Chains A and B, each alone.
Chain A
């Protein structure tokens, strides 16, 4: 059992999300950086799809009521283990750590907000599976723990730790380095690119866009230039996916993210490639990003390359996992 002693805003339980239900209007949800959650899971001997914590900000603290192995990935919030006798130990990101029964994990308040961090626990968090996933759907209020962000006093059950694969990781002291966030997002032309005048298309690509304060797991609104859409353009609602960039016509554009609704009517100028979507987990208001055009073939190739890399990572950690095969 893991007890939340102090909850930070928007602390949720996430796994790799719900797939195959968008035709019923049910969004994907899941970790904004699925690769980081997968790696954290592997480091504690889990398969990639186990549920862990998605941490958006600090301070945050929790207590392990039994001995637990945990791993932290994503942004480094300088977490520390604090034992019953007051002794403190730094918890390095990208490695697994034993937390003895009764010990606490503290994420101190940080000046440097860098986006999301992931905490995986050996076995995985044992909340009920709702529609194929344990992910919290904050918009629709189900999944995770009662469909809501975690709060002080929540007790999170943990599944039994898989032993064999985990012992090997421990023996070898393996760690995984995080990827740098470049803010350079590769994207393919969107389904409605042709609707936009050449000038708008040119000012979309390569020029900086600023992350506004209006950002959530549903989407990030970006400030930059007004993109002109021919006024007579009307478009029926069609299926939309995370990564698609919508242009409502005002001063902002919207980059859809994990919790995005399943259909939308705004014209879509471009779509961020799957291999770069993990970066959305770390973008902060005021930060600038640029969109770099790539071909569909390159986007598909990058996706395969990332999956191949992740699959080999799991293999090197001795985890039998087919998620990225």
Chain B
């Protein structure tokens, strides 16, 4: 199995962006799937957090297909990169503890005002949308955009739908939505253009607890449909 080599660029004088090529490019060997690659990136970040160079790092920020290493002092970049290279070449998966997180979701009605729109667009019934949204085990490939927002991979391709033409000014925290080929949960009230199909009562970001985000990169996520009405919180 070939492991892609990252391209290495300074994002600022104290930060290095490791971008990992799309798997399957420039290689005839079997390569990692996008999901395997992403787990490796997350594993690399946790290995570095526990390594001897941890003190040189302020933060390690995974994103889909990349890892941004933020250093106290860019002069130490060589040492950090050497450590990163060493871990990247080693078997990282043994270090992993994958958390499996279940998200109870109230679908449709006031909780998911766009469920009908999504059903019509996809040519499916509302219950088929719910079923297909709950079927996969998703992976948190990264957190970003806003505190506690998880980039989830694994959406059933038949549920893809372009964003709304007119974004909503306010989407309430906990809304479960689909936009493009992605699905996600809004951790806070915010404007947004995704289609809202359901709602969870879980708090995804709370600055008063540690860790402040309910989901972490590398978690696997399942949506569990709730039968009763749920209602507005």
Contact = CB atoms under 8 A, between A and B. Distances in A.
Interface of A: 19-27, 130-131, 139-143, 188, 190-191, 236-241, 243-244, 261-263, 268, 271, 273-274, 296, 299-300, 303-304
Contacts of B212: 21, 24, 26, 131
B47 interface: no
19 contacts: A19-B59, A20-B58, A22-B59, A23-B143, A25-B148, A25-B149, A25-B213, A141-B188, A142-B207, A143-B207, A188-B12, A191-B9, A191-B11, A236-B64, A237-B142, A261-B146, A263-B61, A263-B142, A303-B73
Contact of A25 (B13, B65, B68, B147): B147
Interface residues of B, number: 44
A191 B80 CA distance: 18
A53 to B, nearest CB: 21
A216 to B, nearest CB: 15
Contacts of A300: 13-14, 73-75
B96 to A, nearest CB: 16
A278 to B, nearest CB: 14
B148 A24 contact: yes
Contact of B13 (A27, A188, A240, A263): A188
A237 B59 contact: no
B148 to A, nearest CB: 6
A274 B207 contact: no
Given A25-B205, A191-B19, A300-B14, 20 more contacts: A19-B59, A20-B59, A22-B61, A23-B59, A23-B143, A24-B147, A25-B148, A25-B187, A26-B147, A27-B147, A140-B147, A236-B64, A239-B17, A262-B145, A263-B145, A274-B13, A299-B12, A299-B74, A300-B73, A303-B14
Contacts of B58: 19-20
A256 to B, nearest CB: 10
B207 A131 contact: yes
B66 A236 contact: yes
Contacts of A237: 63-64, 142, 144-145, 151
Interface string B122-165: 00000000000000000000111111110100000000000000
Contacts, number: 136
Nearest to A237: B63
B70 interface: yes
Contacts of A143: 207
Contact of B68 (A27, A188, A238): A238
Contact of B144 (A131, A139, A244, A261): A261
A140 B173 CA distance: 12
Contacts of A130: 207-208
A157 to B, nearest CB: 19
A24 B187 CA distance: 12
B174 interface: no
B207 A22 contact: no
Given A140-B147, A238-B68, A23 B74 contact: no
Contacts of B187: 25
B183 interface: no
A271 B213 contact: no
Contacts of A190: 11
Contacts of B30: none
Nearest to B146: A25
Contacts of B66: 236, 238-239
Nearest to A243: B12
Contacts of A21: 59, 212
